[in-house]
Amino acid sequence: AFYYMEPSRTFSEFLLVPNLTTKECTPGNVSLRTPIVKFGAGEKPSVSLNIPFASAVMQAVSDDVMAVALARCGGISFIFGSQSIEDQAAMVRKVKGYKAGFVVSRSNLTPSHSLKDVLELKERTGHSTVAITHDGSPQGKLLGIVTSRDYRISRDALTKQVSEFMTPFESLFYGTSGITLSEANDLIWEHKLNCLPIVDKEQKLDYLVFRKDYDAHKENPYELLDENKSYIVGAGINTKDYMERVPALAEAGVDVVVIDSSDGFSEWQRETIQYVKANTNVKIGAGNVVDREGFLYLVESGADFIKVGIGGGSICITREQKGIGRGQASALIEVAAARDDYYRETGIYVPICSDGGIVHDYHITLSLAMGADFVMMGRYFARFDESPTRKLKVGTNFVKEFWGEGSNRARNWQRYDTGGKESLVFEEGVDSYVPYAGGLQENLDRTIHKIKSTMCNCGSTSIEELHRTARITLVSATSIVEGGAHDVILKDSSLSGE
């Protein structure tokens, strides 16, 4: 046998050492834009993210609702593959058909209706709805309502997003229902609204879509009509039914697929990648691997990105059940070095995704510093309103359900298949709860702010710069103790009566 005599390490065994922070290096100047598919030196990647976050290929994490919410924030979801091809393609289609922005409802509400009517509508439809009043106060006269079709979004999150998109909202609704397209455009120009009019078959205004990504004050919205900018979405596939699944996903508009497997260093993955490359235009990631050999095998098979990690997932018991795996930090460090060598030798940059094992927000920054281009997380996203699972009260706390793909609940045997029985013979994942944490956007904003602040400490304004210049130190067990609050008596508000 070959022995790795160095122990394999996890994120919690490392810390970042600050570099010089220049005055220009502020969180506002940090870009988290990152490639997710391979590209040649001097070229631009064809698929990039604005934030280096992917939600896991899991039933309990990534459905169409999560995908829209995360894409809206600049990341990507990989819709779970442990469902029928038709159901998965339908989810992809929903995400692609979702127009960026908010639908201003054309419901029968008029200024004569009250806020009570709005709340009743919300109850009836189950959608998140925000009432817009002429003076912005809850008591004001009703001008109209904004409705999110995404009923899992909290009303607070919707209100926040609406206020970001709709600053001059006062004049929006007067007479919009039933007016012509040219009248709608006059309205848009007159009030300098960042929105697109969408028309019905008779060229009557159907609804207004508000968008962040162009400036109606400068650009002519006429030129943007028919454009169908959609949210980016990924999907998980397996090495069994890819000949049917991938074409169906491609037809539904998927941007990128990933082979979802606990151990990707296999001939089945090579065959799958080669088939997808030869027969479709879909970008394909592969994995998971934990070393240089696995990385090179999948890259030489044609993969567009590589996913790293075995056994580090919060719900994963693969290491206990089968005794395979590697500490996530060690796996990532070795694969990132292989990626850099490959780039030097061939001029082709293959992004890597660190998958699983993120416990604290700083683990994300560490994994980026260690060479990851983006991270995939399950537990992190499972805690939010937007995840597909039930929110329950356990004792005095709210929790969300969260189960592994290798648990009896998901029975995703294709993910663990090594050419044996076509079923899940033993479990490699658990069924669990995670603490409920609220809406995705507010949590993501906080995490992103932490990452950007830490990058400033490290003197980096981009992920690529962080890869090159980060300095990372191993920590001893005693210095980990030093890192928490220690040698003080913590105030306990329940004891002090505060």
Active site amino acids: 316, 415
Our finding on whether 313 is near ligand MZP (CB under 6 A) is yes
Mapping DSSP to helix (H, G, I), strand (E, B) and coil, where does residue 337 land?
Answer: helix
Our finding on whether 65 is near ligand MZP (CB under 6 A) is no
User: Cβ closer to ligand MZP: 39 or 402?
Assistant: 402
User: Cβ closer to ligand MZP: 151 or 426?
Assistant: 426
Our finding on whether 373 is near ligand MZP (CB under 6 A) is no
Our finding on whether 325 is near ligand MZP (CB under 6 A) is no
User: Cβ closer to ligand MZP: 56 or 187?
Assistant: 56
Binding span for ligand MZP by CB under 6 A among 24-32, 140-148, 210-218, 309-317: 309-317
Our finding on whether 291 is near ligand MZP (CB under 6 A) is no
- Which residue is at the shortest CB distance from ligand MZP? 429
Binding span for ligand MZP by CB under 6 A among 158-166, 294-302, 399-407, 437-445: 399-407
Cα–Cα dist 430/105, whole Å: 42
User: Cβ closer to ligand MZP: 200 or 320?
Assistant: 320
Our finding on whether 318 is near ligand MZP (CB under 6 A) is yes
Q: Of all helices (H) and strands (E), which one includes residue 279?
A: helix 267-279
Our finding on whether 70 is near ligand MZP (CB under 6 A) is no
Cα–Cα dist 35/30, whole Å: 16
Our finding on whether 405 is near ligand MZP (CB under 6 A) is yes
Task: Count helices and strands (H / E) in the chain.
Answer: 17, 22
Site string for ligand MZP, 115-144 (x = CB under 6 A): ------------------------------
Amino acid at 287: G
Cα–Cα dist 99/142, whole Å: 25
Cα–Cα dist 390/59, whole Å: 12
Our finding on whether 315 is near ligand MZP (CB under 6 A) is yes
User: Cβ closer to ligand MZP: 371 or 378?
Assistant: 378
Residue 171 has which token pair?
Answer: 């004049």
Cα–Cα dist 328/350, whole Å: 19
Cα–Cα dist 5/353, whole Å: 26
Classify the C-alpha dihedral 419-290-79-249 as positive or negative.
negative
Among 64, 355, 373, 386, binds ligand MZP (CB under 6 A): 355
Cα–Cα dist 450/443, whole Å: 11
Our finding on whether 358 is near ligand MZP (CB under 6 A) is yes
Binding span for ligand MZP by CB under 6 A among 1-9, 152-160, 170-178, 403-411: 403-411
Our finding on whether 377 is near ligand MZP (CB under 6 A) is yes
Q: Helices marked H in 301-393 — which ranges?
A: 318-322, 328-346, 361-369, 379-382
Among 104, 205, 316, 440, binds ligand MZP (CB under 6 A): 316
Our finding on whether 379 is near ligand MZP (CB under 6 A) is yes
- 76-79/234-237 β-pairing: parallel
Contact 435, 399 (CB under 8 A): yes
User: Cβ closer to ligand MZP: 69 or 142?
Assistant: 69
Our finding on whether 258 is near ligand MZP (CB under 6 A) is no
245: burial class by Cβ within 10 Å (0-12, 13-18, 19+)?
buried
Our finding on whether 76 is near ligand MZP (CB under 6 A) is no
User: Cβ closer to ligand MZP: 169 or 380?
Assistant: 380
Among residues 358, 375, 349, which one has the least CA distance to residue 11?
A: 358
Our finding on whether 235 is near ligand MZP (CB under 6 A) is no
- Neighbouring residues of 191: CB distance < 8 A, sequence distance ≥ 6: 168, 171, 172
Our finding on whether 263 is near ligand MZP (CB under 6 A) is no
**Count of residues that bind ligand MZP according to CB under 6 A:** 22
Among 428, 440, 441, 463, binds ligand MZP (CB under 6 A): 428
Binding span for ligand MZP by CB under 6 A among 21-29, 150-158, 312-320, 385-393: 312-320
Whether residue 408 is preceded by a cis peptide bond, meaning omega within 30 degrees of 0, is no
Among 37, 51, 56, 184, binds ligand MZP (CB under 6 A): 56
Among 91, 208, 237, 376, binds ligand MZP (CB under 6 A): 376
Q: What are phi and psi of 127, to 5 degrees?
A: -80, 160
Residue 377 has which token pair?
Answer: 């997380």
Our finding on whether 371 is near ligand MZP (CB under 6 A) is no
User: Cβ closer to ligand MZP: 56 or 444?
Assistant: 56
Cα–Cα dist 74/51, whole Å: 5
Please give the C-alpha separations between residue 425 and each of 63, 266, 313, 419, in angstroms, as whole numbers.
26, 20, 20, 12
Our finding on whether 327 is near ligand MZP (CB under 6 A) is no
- 53-55/374-377 β-pairing: parallel
Cα–Cα dist 455/5, whole Å: 32
User: Cβ closer to ligand MZP: 60 or 145?
Assistant: 60
Can you give the binding site for ligand MZP, defined by CB under 6 A? Answer: 56, 58, 313-316, 318, 355-358, 376-380, 404-407, 428-429
